[in-house]
Structure 1
Amino acid sequence: MNGHPVIGRLATAILVIALLRFAQSIFVPLAFSLFVIALVWPVQSALQRWMPKLLALLITLSITISAIVVMGSLTAWGFSKLAQWLFLNAARFQAVYTEWVDWLEGHGIAIVGPVTDRFNVTWLIGFVQGIAGRVNGFAGFALLVFVFVMLGLLEVDDFNMRLRRPAAQPLGEKMLRANHEIGAKLRRFMVVRSFASVLTGFVVWGFALLAGLELAAAWGALAFVLNYIPFLGPLIATMFPTVFAIAQFESWQMAVIVFVGLNIIQFIIGSYLEPLLAGASLKISPFAVIFAVFFWSYLWGLAGAFIGVPILIAFIVYCAQDPSSRWLAVLLSGGTADNLGSET
């Protein structure tokens, strides 16, 4: 009998995950809109003290749209440049690839055979072009997010008032505290992540120029954008230039230099500088971060990889509100109970 509640909770969790998976066309824009609202609400709140609410909303939405357009344009431009370079240098790339395959097969590495059957330069060009096309074609997704954000910003004040009503207590006050803390943590997270991403982009651009790597500006732009996706983003931003260095320089030594150099950049900024700036209140277990990125990317694709850590932050804050789940918040935070629920 004691196992029935556990089984029931497990079944509920499985059903919720299945719902999030199959209804992602609604839940992904909703999650993104809540994330954006948490980020830009202080701007909306400050502006509407000095001007009409609708005018403040227009200015806030204009700033938000501009940021989204810049990010999307940089991503599409970077991958488009890579696709063009691949198309123009396909013969050289294929020759180097074939030479490496022959060398590996000559040394008895049998795993290369199946890889050769499925991988070629044409496939790589199509893959890069597909990414660029997806970024260019996210207009429908962005429109739905825009509608959700617009309606959500108009309702934040009213929603907070409803949470303060006696009929909503004591959960209303708990939700208010949690929402306030989540907003503060997400804004700090994005400020630190944005600073680290800009710095990573410029340093990668400078390193690519110094190494003589073609498309240095594109590598810098992609490093900037991809750094917003923990673990997976820096990995892609490191592997792509390394693969291209093999074709450009036709030398494994130069490819190793590029690979090591980019990893040193990612390690210093991502593993030392960024945690130092984030502070104790944003400390999260590295295992939890990796799990969140892969779990949400499985459910929602690239969008899930981006939004996974913000969702994890919100989950930790809500778990910390209740004594029965506070232990889970402590485990996931990578810290102690002392730094939960406090901003440092």
Structure 2
Amino acid sequence: MTSSTSRNALVMIAVVIGGAAVYWLSEILTPLALAIFLLLMTDGLARGLVRHARVSEKVALPAAILLITLAFIGSVWVIIDGAAGFFTKANNLSARLDMVIADVAGMLHLSVAPTAHELVQRFEFERYVGVAAKGVQGFASDAFFVLVYLGFLIASRNGFKKKTDSLFPRDEDRAEAAAVFERIRGGVEGYLWVQTVTGVMIAVSAWVLMMVVGLDNPGFWAFVVFLVCYIPVIGGAVAGLAPPLFALVQFETYTPALVLLIGLQVILFVIGNFIYPRMQGENQNIDPVVILLSLAFWGALWGVTGMFLSTPLTVMAIAILAEFDGTRWIAVLLSGDGEPYPRTEEERARKVETA
């Protein structure tokens, strides 16, 4: 009992110290984590080009690197350009905001409705807008370091095999380490595939709806909807509420905002309840409560970047914890069905029979 208690206490202390170190080193670790994330995407895309497009292995990796780099740079440009356009038009929306506030005050039976300027001064919205603008600027600067990290990671890929052979001299240990890596890569790539496909479906449907309604910058908002689909829980709320809120300010009537709200909720409901579960399969065998806690934990440590990476990091943690007898119970608690990554033939057969 003393040994078990001491071991559990040491584990808890190590987790707390590790979390503090990850938080203090966030400015260094977040670009590196994103670079590793992009490296996995690049590797998966290269293998996909070889398997499905019949591209040679020598051409597949450079083509994948070029596509991922262009997509990443394009994403940064769309975000910065769209945010700049939004902040430029924000100064011309005060009159419409006053009308919306007056209508809401009338519904609440308030005798005197505050103006938008008064609300801005009372709640210090200017400070929050400044923080948001600073965050966009920081995202652009971090993007440069992400690409630098990605370049060095790709350049060092050739040495991974030699390092693995030196770390695991025995064939059994090396095979076991390779199996763990395959589980991590398969889980992360499966998660990326499902989120990307469903995100494209939601973004395209939302873009068509916003074009029909006539919302300004529909391409920017569709791209924002696509990006937030990678954030569990919060992403759906942002995708379903952000465009209607800005339609509420843009148009003279409330009908376009109501159409956007209902239409986006229908899109999210259909894809989230019928298409997403069928595509998900076993790629994300995580308990829903764990997804929420992981989102809060990594969001507190690394902000928005942590929210984006919360689920892939949890997939990696489950794959590693499930490999060792002393920590497998943690992986069992984190998994959705209580059977994370079966290691033996009996476990695999039992999981197939259960499914």
Structure 1's 43 and 273: CA in aligned 2 closer, same or farther, altered over 3 A?
closer
Conserved? CA contact 1:71–1:225, under 8 Å: no
Structure 1's 11 and 61: CA in aligned 2 closer, same or farther, altered over 3 A?
same
SS in 1 for 2:322: helix
1:71-102 CA distance string (max 9 Å, x none): 22233333333323323323322442355357
> How far did residue 269 of structure 1 move?
1.9
1:133 aligns with 137
Q: In the alignment, residue 258 of structure 1 is paired with which amino acid?
A: L
Q: In the alignment, residue 276 of structure 2 is paired with which amino acid?
A: E
Pick aligned residue for 2:123 from 106, 118, 125: 118
1:173 aligns with 175
1:156 aligns with 160
2:35 aligns with 33
- Aligned equivalents of 1:191, 1:24: Cα separation in 2: 27
2:66 aligns with 62
Q: In the alignment, residue 230 of structure 1 is paired with which amino acid?
A: P
1:317 aligns with 319
Q: Larger deviation: 300-309 or 146-155?
A: 146-155
Q: In the alignment, residue 87 of structure 2 is paired with which amino acid?
A: A
> How far did residue 107 of structure 1 move?
8.6
SS in 2 for 1:312: helix
Structure 1's 213 and 37: CA in aligned 2 closer, same or farther, altered over 3 A?
closer
Structure 1's 234 and 152: CA in aligned 2 closer, same or farther, altered over 3 A?
farther
1:3 aligns with 5
> How far did residue 334 of structure 1 move?
0.9
SS in 1 for 2:165: helix
Conserved? CA contact 2:295–2:307, under 8 Å: yes
- Aligned equivalents of 1:256, 1:33: Cα separation in 2: 40
Structure 1's 237 and 198: CA in aligned 2 closer, same or farther, altered over 3 A?
same
1:90 aligns with 94
Conserved? CA contact 1:330–1:340, under 8 Å: no
> How far did residue 25 of structure 1 move?
2.2
> How far did residue 169 of structure 1 move?
5.8
**How is 1:1-344 mapped onto 2 (pairs within 5 angstroms)?**
1=2, 3-42=5-44, 58-97=62-101, 99-100=103-104, 104=108, 106=110, 117-118=122-123, 120=125, 122=126, 126=130, 129-166=133-170, 170=173, 172-251=174-253, 255-337=257-339, 340=342
Conserved? CA contact 1:293–1:309, under 8 Å: yes
Structure 1's 237 and 86: CA in aligned 2 closer, same or farther, altered over 3 A?
farther
C-alpha RMSD over aligned residues: 3.4
Conserved? CA contact 1:21–1:299, under 8 Å: yes
**TM-score by structure 2 length?**
0.80
> How far did residue 60 of structure 1 move?
4.2
- Structure 1, gaps ≥5 residues long: none
Q: In the alignment, residue 178 of structure 1 is paired with which amino acid?
A: V
1:253-283 CA distance string (max 9 Å, x none): 6544433322222232234312211212423
> How far did residue 200 of structure 1 move?
1.0
Q: Larger deviation: 10-19 or 57-66?
A: 57-66
Q: Larger deviation: 8-17 or 219-228?
A: 219-228
| Aligned length in residues | 335
SS in 2 for 1:289: helix
- Aligned equivalents of 1:41, 1:175: Cα separation in 2: 18
- Aligned equivalents of 1:260, 1:214: Cα separation in 2: 18
Q: Larger deviation: 301-310 or 216-225?
A: 216-225
Conserved? CA contact 2:229–2:236, under 8 Å: yes
SS in 2 for 1:301: helix
- Aligned equivalents of 1:141, 1:98: Cα separation in 2: 46
Conserved? CA contact 2:31–2:143, under 8 Å: no
Q: Larger deviation: 132-141 or 277-286?
A: 132-141
SS in 1 for 2:91: helix
1:290-330 CA distance string (max 9 Å, x none): 22122111101111111111000001111221233333323
Q: In the alignment, residue 242 of structure 2 is paired with which amino acid?
A: F
Structure 1's 51 and 309: CA in aligned 2 closer, same or farther, altered over 3 A?
closer
**TM-score by structure 1 length?**
0.82
Conserved? CA contact 1:293–1:304, under 8 Å: yes
